Amino acid sequence: MGARELDGALVDARRRTLTLFEALAAAGYGQPASVPRLPILNPPLWELGHTIWFAEWFVLRAARSSRPGDAVGDSLLAQGDAWFDSNLVAHASRWMLDLPAPEALVRYGGEVLDRMRARLAQETDDDASLYPYRLALAHEDMHGEAMLYTLQTLGAAPPPGMAEAPLRHGDRSGIDFGAAAFLPGGDQSQGFVFDNERIPSTRPTGPFTIDAALVSNGDYLPFVEDGGYRQPRFWSEAGRAWLQETGRLAPRYWERDGAGWRVRRFGQSLALEPAEPLRHVCLHEAEAYCTWAGRRLPREDEWERAASAGHPDFDWGQLWEWTASRFLPYAGFQPDRYLEYSAPWFVTRQVLRGASFATPARLRSPHFRNFYTPQRDDIFAGFRTCAL
């Protein structure tokens, strides 16, 4: 995006953030005290303030990095750094802060956005000068998707128009790829690139055969009905520990309904649709299904090669997809100004590729390396498989 397109995108992202916060507030989650203390979410009021503060830090205050003290001047909001710098505010303490009222944060956000737009109007379309705006936009878009995760986790209704369109399930027939050298990662000469996508090295891939479409509810149901969750032989050691901890016998939001199944979507109980892609499963469940089915998860380079090839039958972008790859740096990795975006999470996270229905189109890329801990099943994630 050039400066003009960025201006419109920043306005759209803020409208989306405020709309999502209003939905959470309307459901009774506007104040931290009313929000369950779960490690997978933030109090929405804190998340709103943090998103605004992050944009102010990197754009208006021209921060050299995300280290405390590396920005110019003070926040427009008294105590802004003390409240919303995630380096200073431990996750568990975000429920105990004496935060401003929502109206005050909305005013703060309006002032930050107005000043950003005024400054952006003076910028050229040079990548270096637009980097902080693009970073702030990507950060806000990702937090917007996280707010939709929160709505699903808390069983609250999404804003009108933000519920997903009916998800489609295509033909899972395999697509064959021969052996070839493949260069993954984003091209940093073409605008914004996350630090973990930079400086990749060419690597051999293939031959491999990958599903054209995601595993559906109907594909996964026989695994559940076959007692897959009760058979340790299908599960990794970590998966067995997860089963023991959670007591799961089916995916997170599945509910037995007599001889059939229902599923919970944003607080509503709906009939399980066999043709829909499976979602809200963790890595352990994806791996166990693959073992049961005699398949495997794709490596992230295989997934990226398939998504980048332009094959008309390779359908992606409905759900984040678990891969077989641990989140590791490419050779020569160097963190960007947002130092904590990637580096602290290497090794302990697993890579997901693609996008979900909640991901804005401007953030979608076959190079995007999303990453979560293996037990996360609250995100809009599923998987596809490869032949052994």
User: Which tens digit of pLDDT belongs to each residue from 54-91?
Assistant: 999 999 999 999 999 999 999 999 999 999 999 999 99
> Which pTM value belongs to this model?
0.96
Residue % of the chain over a pLDDT of 70: 98
Would you say 20 and 148 are in contact if contact means Cβ atoms under 8 Å apart? yes
The pLDDT of residue 187: 63
CA-only gyration radius of the chain, Å: 21
Q: How confident is the model at residue 96 (pLDDT cuts 50, 70, 90)?
A: very high
User: Which tens digit of pLDDT belongs to each residue from 165-190?
Assistant: 767 777 778 999 999 988 887 665 56
Are residue 259 and residue 320 in the same domain, yes or no?
yes
Are residue 105 and residue 235 in the same domain, yes or no?
no
Question: Domain for residue 360, yes or no?
Answer: yes
Q: Quickly list H helices, the chain.
A: 3-24, 44-55, 80-84, 102-120, 127-154, 217-225, 237-246, 283-293, 300-308
User: Which tens digit of pLDDT belongs to each residue from 305-359?
Assistant: 999 998 999 989 999 999 999 999 998 899 999 999 999 999 999 999 999 999 9
Are residue 179 and residue 80 in the same domain, yes or no?
no
CB atoms within 10 A of CB 67: 13
DSSP character string of 88-101: TS-GGGGGS--PPP
Q: Report whether the peptide linkage leading into residue 207 is cis, meaning its omega lies within 30 degrees of zero.
A: yes
Are residue 189 and residue 270 in the same domain, yes or no?
yes
Are residue 138 and residue 202 in the same domain, yes or no?
no
The pLDDT of residue 11: 98
Are residue 232 and residue 348 in the same domain, yes or no?
yes
Question: Of the candidates 123, 154, 185, which is a domain's last residue?
Answer: 154
**pLDDT (average), residues 124-146:** 94
pLDDT of residue 30 exceeding 70, the answer is: yes
Question: Of the candidates 154, 186, 207, which is a domain's last residue?
Answer: 154
Are residue 212 and residue 63 in the same domain, yes or no?
no
Average pLDDT, the chain: 94
Question: Domain for residue 167, yes or no?
Answer: no
The pLDDT of residue 134: 96
Strand partners, 354: 320
User: 283-293 vs 217-225: helix axis angle to the nearest 10?
Assistant: 80
Question: Domain for residue 162, yes or no?
Answer: no
User: Which tens digit of pLDDT belongs to each residue from 267-320?
Assistant: 999 999 999 999 999 999 999 999 999 999 999 999 999 999 989 999 899 999
The pLDDT of residue 350: 98
CATH number of the domain bearing residue 188: 3.90.1580.10
Are residue 149 and residue 250 in the same domain, yes or no?
no
Would you say 213 and 315 are in contact if contact means Cβ atoms under 8 Å apart? yes
Q: Which tokens sit at 374?
A: 């293996």
Question: Domain for residue 168, yes or no?
Answer: no
Residue % of the chain over a pLDDT of 90: 87
Question: Domain for residue 111, yes or no?
Answer: yes
The pLDDT of residue 204: 86
CATH number of the domain bearing residue 34: 1.20.120
Question: Domain for residue 165, yes or no?
Answer: no
Question: Domain for residue 163, yes or no?
Answer: no
Question: Of the candidates 154, 183, 214, which is a domain's last residue?
Answer: 154
**Residue 199 amino acid letter:** I
Are residue 193 and residue 141 in the same domain, yes or no?
no
Q: Which long-range contacts (CB under 8 A, 24 or more apart) does 250-253 make?
A: 250/224, 251/220, 251/224, 251/278, 251/280, 251/281, 251/285, 251/377, 252/280, 252/281, 252/377, 252/378, 253/280
Q: How confident is the model at residue 383 (pLDDT cuts 50, 70, 90)?
A: very high
Are residue 256 and residue 142 in the same domain, yes or no?
no
Are residue 140 and residue 181 in the same domain, yes or no?
no
Would you say 367 and 353 are in contact if contact means Cβ atoms under 8 Å apart? no
Hunting for tokens 């995630």 — which residue is that? 86
Question: Domain for residue 228, yes or no?
Answer: yes
> In total, how many domains does the chain have?
2
Are residue 59 and residue 198 in the same domain, yes or no?
no
- For the chain, how far is it from start to end, CA to CA, in angstroms? 41
Strand ranges for 185-267 from DSSP E: 203-205, 208-211, 254-257, 260-265
- Show the domain range for 90: 3-154
